[in-house]
Structure 1
Amino acid sequence: MSSGQRGSAVKAAQVQLNKYGYGLAVDGDFGPGTHAAARDFQDDKGLAVDGIIGPDTWRALVSGSGGGSGGTGGKLTHSQAAAMFTSAGISWSSSGDCSNRDNRTCTSFDQLRRATAEGIIALKRASGCAVHITGGTETGHAGGTYSHWNGYKIDFAPYSCVSGHITGTFTYLGRRSDGAALYEAGTGDVYAREGSHWDAAYTG
């Protein structure tokens, strides 16, 4: 199926695309948004990027198979991650009111690991608290394998509700060399209480 088509098959494709965080309206109309999502998905999976949902693309949508870096360990675009967060009721902001990954004043989700996005969403659901993201994959954070730039970390505001959930539920590990208190979830995710925010590392 391709641009301009309408019907139940398009609705089914939109449902499948939304499982990857695209946030499309399931209206059965293969419009520009669905076309762009299909192209982005194909690019992520290493498929021919034509915006047409043929047998190979449909198979990858349903099974999560295909080339590229898709699946639970795959990387997201900023818009994909933003759609996932909006759907989960998670807000975010940046000091520069922007999302450019190469600008340290922005908050970008470009190249965020899907597992990281799912980790912060799981925290939101488990705690029942408001979660407000203040840092993503933009430049300016500390380096390393499990870094913000590589999509493993995310920063969020230390609201009392979510902070209480972390300190009251997770295992206290002691303090990091810079003095940040460390807490580990049962999943192995580690939360560091830095000066103005929580720094969460989703390395699983």
Structure 2
Amino acid sequence: MRLRTFSTTLALALTALFAPGVGVLGGATEAHAATKISHATATSMFRGSGITWSSSGGCSDRNNPTCTSFDQLNLASAQGAQTLKSASGCSLNITGGTETGHASGTYSHWNGYKLDYSKYTCLGNYIKNTFTYIGVRGDGSPQWRSGSGNIYADEGNHWDVTYYNCGGC
């Protein structure tokens, strides 16, 4: 009986691991499974990696669309920013986090999956020369996919990045 329980448990675990949209091998983890961090934790991580941030309103209130907030950011998104900074060697300035005012959806800014970055030549060259071009999004933004599956969209005046994972942290 014990062997049957173990094999059933193992089969269920493997099914979950390989299922689309779940686990490491299946791609992105589900939205509810993400580890959330505070604004203070994120800014400490960013400061330690030499990543800057700015907001048009000079604030960090999650409920104000002119602020740049990291409250409820996914840990993997913060780690993804750190990975991008260290791998690219480029300046990185975050202009959009988890504040209201962005498009909705499961993998949205509000849900902690996205960060916006200022456009710098170094960063643009790194993304375009390192990642795979995957075509144009519905809004006309060209996109690139990293080897880890994160998506980098050129939205004209900034980079919009969707972090499904930490990018190899």
1:125 maps to which of 86, 98, 101:
86
What is aligned with 2:16? Answer: none
Deviations 1:101-154 (A, max 9, x none): 000000000000000000011000000000000000000000000000000000
Rg comparison, structure with higher value: 1
Opposite residue 36 of structure 2, the aligned amino acid is K
What is aligned with 2:54? Answer: 93
Distance of 1:110 and 1:125 partners within structure 2: 23
RMSD: 1.0
What is aligned with 1:196? Answer: 157
1:163 aligns with 2:114: no
1:150 maps to which of 111, 117, 122:
111
In structure 1, the residue corresponding to 2:115 is in which secondary structure? Answer: strand
Give the unaligned 5+ runs of structure 1: 1-71
Percent sequence identity over aligned pairs: 56
2:34 maps to which of 73, 83, 88:
73
What is aligned with 1:6? Answer: none
- TM (normalized to structure 1)? 0.64
In structure 2, the residue corresponding to 1:79 is in which secondary structure? Answer: helix
1:116 aligns with 2:77: yes
Count of residue correspondences: 133
Give the unaligned 5+ runs of structure 2: 1-32
Point out 4+ residue stretches in structure 1 off by more than 3 angstroms: none
TM-aligned CA deviation for residue 73 of structure 1: 3.5
TM-aligned CA deviation for residue 77 of structure 1: 0.5
In structure 1, the residue corresponding to 2:156 is in which secondary structure? Answer: coil
What is aligned with 1:176? Answer: 137
- Highest relative contact order (Cα 8 Å, sep 6+), 1 or 2? 2
Distance of 2:75 and 2:131 partners within structure 1: 22
In structure 1, the residue corresponding to 2:127 is in which secondary structure? Answer: helix
TM-aligned CA deviation for residue 196 of structure 1: 1.0
In structure 2, the residue corresponding to 1:115 is in which secondary structure? Answer: helix
- TM (normalized to structure 2)? 0.77
Deviations 1:42-92 (A, max 9, x none): xxxxxxxxxxxxxxxxxxxxxxxxxxxxxx931110000000000000000
